[in-house]
Amino acid sequence: MDNLVTPEWVADGARANDLRLVDASWHLPDTGRDARAEYEAGHIPGAVFMDLGELVDPGAATDNTLPTAEKFASRMQGLGLGDGSRIVVYDASAVKTAARAWFMLRLFGAPGVAILDGGLARWKAEGRALSVGRDSLRPRHFTAWRDQRGLRSKADMLANLQSGAQQVVDARGPARFAGSSPEPRPGIAPGHIPGALNVPYTSLYQADGTFKPADSLRAAFTDAGVDLSRPIITSCGSGVTACVLIFALHMLGKDDVALYDGSWAEWGSDPATPKVAAVSA
Catalogue the active-site residues.
236
In Å, how far from its chain's centre is CA 144? Answer: 20
Alpha-carbon span 6 to 1, nearest angstrom: 11
Q: What stretches of the chain show up as alpha helix (H) in DSSP?
A: 7-13, 35-41, 69-79, 98-107, 119-125, 154-163, 174-178, 214-222, 242-251, 263-267
Alpha-carbon span 136 to 49, nearest angstrom: 9
Query: What is the H or E stretch that residue 146 is in?
Result: none
Alpha-carbon span 96 to 243, nearest angstrom: 9
Query: What is the H or E stretch that residue 118 is in?
Result: none
Asked whether 258 and 177 are in contact (CB, 8 A), the reply is no
Asked whether 82 and 141 are in contact (CB, 8 A), the reply is yes
Q: What share of the chain is helix, strand, coil (3-state, %, to 5)?
A: 30, 15, 55
151-152 and 19-23 beta bridge pairing: unpaired
Asked whether 224 and 216 are in contact (CB, 8 A), the reply is no
